[in-house]
Amino acid sequence: MKEEAGRKVAIIGGGPAGLMAAEALAQRGIAADVYDAMPSVGRKFLLAGIGGLNLTHSESYPAFVSRYGERAAQIDLLLRGFDAGALRAWAHGLGVETFVGSSGRVFPREMKAAPLLRAWLSRLREAGVRIHVRHRWQGWNEDGSLRFDTADGELAVRADATLLALGGGSWKKLGSDGRWLPWLAERGVATAPLLPSNCGFDAGWSAFFADKFAGEPLKSVGLSFQGGDGRAFQRVGECVITQSGIEGSLIYACSALLRDEILRAGSATCYLDLIPAWDEARVLAEVTHPRGSRSLSSHLQSRLNLKGARAGILRECLDKDRFQNPAALAAAIKRLPLTLTATRPMDEAISTAGGVCFSALDSRQMLSALPGVFCAGEMLDWEAPTGGYLLTACFASGRAAGIGLAEWLAAE
């Protein structure tokens, strides 16, 4: 086994959190070595930018922090050092201009991740950061050195300090496989099981409905949910019918509540408002309007513009008796029960919850059970909806962990 020795800071994971930690260290005169299992760094970051890189969000700070739910207090401490405004300024410093979209989301002017990543990596290398790809971390050797699998065989790296930015458990093909969790747990680090977040759900569609409508969007529909734990959700947005159930931005925004309800009760029933711009009285008036010789389906399309996937899901979720009852039909159009039975597999999820508990970290993001080992990014136990919140917190936590590591080294 080859061995690298000498005074060294090792960062394991070349995503936004790991690279931001490397930058924070470089600014303090510490040139770190970044190790990544993939052939190149930032692969999930690049994937996130395929449809337009949503860097962050422009909403007010209190609203922004609230998006982190039960971990809002912990993420708040990180964002105070590097918030959405700081992230935009940082991107501008790399020559990447940003703009605010109609939804309040912030994007690079070119809508792509690759130019930003190229400029960033160039600056990091100029600052002395060394990047090692195709180095898959395998935990620690008995002597405490870091163990890597490489194309040239096993490599042992002795580091004065280590920063882990290993991602969560989704998108294994891009390097986030969660294999690290038991290695930390075995060493006394408090962890929570990894769970899918920003994910789709199974709904048990009939074969007819699935074959006809899979891939069809439900635009401008309302979603409401009241969990058994008291948490509630209500919003208008867009989602997509899938072969097995439902996914999309509106579902992702509620995914944590729906997932936790399924874990608690075995299923979760949410409610769709198929015409959120109309009140129930207006819907009832249109449903009961004389339809003459027209079929009920034609009547609903003519009077309420209910067609396609919205009309299909109405029939799918209502039995024949309720569909033929005008009052019950009108009520269902405004509040259609949709029972979800399971999350989609974790590897299909955009992100994950669970990981290293914040209680396992000190104020510098160092593991109390493993002095000299720091953690950042999605491997920590937090989650957030899509909309730029995930990336912002990964950048902020990477920066905070890098600063914490530098302070620890100075004290040592």
User: Helices 16-26 and 389-411: crossing angle, nearest 10°?
Assistant: 40
Please, what's the b/e burial string for 306-322 (b: 16 or more CB within 10 A of its CB; e: otherwise)? bebbbbbbbbbbbeeee
Residue 282 domain-assigned?
Answer: yes
Total domains, the chain:
2
Tokens standing for 121?
Answer: 């990596």
Last residue of a domain, one of 343, 370, 395: 343
Same structural domain, 33 and 125: yes
Tokens standing for 406?
Answer: 């530098």
Q: What pLDDT does residue 3 have?
A: 52
**Count of CB atoms within 10 A of residue 92's CB?**
12
Handedness of CA 339, 244, 235, 325 (dihedral sign): negative
Residue 13 domain-assigned?
Answer: yes
Listed residue (348, 377, 285, 288) closest to 21, CA to CA = 377
| Domain carrying residue 163 | 9-196+352-411
**pLDDT < 50 positions in the chain:** 5-6
Same structural domain, 214 and 189: no
Q: What pLDDT does residue 2 have?
A: 57
Same structural domain, 190 and 250: no
Q: DSSP letters of 4-64?
A: E-SS-EEEE--SHHHHHHHHHHHTTT---EEE-SSSSS-HHHHHHTTT----EE-S-HHHH
Residue 118 domain-assigned?
Answer: yes
Please answer whether residues 146 and 384 qualify as being in contact, where contact means their C-beta atoms are separated by less than 8 angstroms.
no
Q: What pLDDT does residue 261 have?
A: 97
Listed residue (178, 99, 38, 110) closest to 388, CA to CA = 99
Same structural domain, 157 and 276: no
Q: What pLDDT does residue 329 have?
A: 94
Rounded to an integer, what distance in angstroms lies between the CA atom of residue 241 and that of residue 338? 12
Same structural domain, 205 and 262: yes
Handedness of CA 375, 378, 381, 384 (dihedral sign): positive
Please answer whether residues 217 and 223 qualify as being in contact, where contact means their C-beta atoms are separated by less than 8 angstroms.
no
Rounded to an integer, what distance in angstroms lies between the CA atom of residue 242 and that of residue 314? 16
Characterise 351 by phi-psi region: left (phi > 0), alpha (psi -120 to 50), beta (else).
Answer: beta
Q: What is the pLDDT of residues 287-329, one digit of tens each?
A: 999 988 889 899 999 999 999 999 999 999 999 999 999 999 9
Residue 99 domain-assigned?
Answer: yes
The residues near 303 (Cβ < 8 Å, ≥ 6 apart) are 286, 287, 289, 291
Same structural domain, 331 and 405: no
Listed residue (198, 220, 212) closest to 313, CA to CA = 212
Residue 189 domain-assigned?
Answer: yes
pTM of the model: 0.91
Last residue of a domain, one of 343, 377, 396: 343
Rounded to an integer, what distance in angstroms lies between the CA atom of residue 286 and that of residue 291? 10
Q: Which residues sit opposite 239 in a β-bridge?
A: 218
Same structural domain, 112 and 206: no
Dihedral of the CA atoms 20, 25, 31, 34 (nearest 10)? Answer: -30
Tokens standing for 280?
Answer: 């129930």
Same structural domain, 19 and 77: yes
Same structural domain, 309 and 403: no
Q: Which residues sit opposite 246 in a β-bridge?
A: 201, 241
Q: What pLDDT does residue 32 have?
A: 96
Q: Which residues sit opposite 12 in a β-bridge?
A: 35, 164
**CATH number (domain holding residue 52):** 3.50.50.60
Residue 4 domain-assigned?
Answer: no
Residue 3 domain-assigned?
Answer: no
Last residue of a domain, one of 301, 317, 343: 343
Residue 21 domain-assigned?
Answer: yes
Q: What pLDDT does residue 5 have?
A: 47
Residue found under tokens 């080992």: 373
Same structural domain, 41 and 120: yes
Same structural domain, 133 and 192: yes
Same structural domain, 220 and 110: no
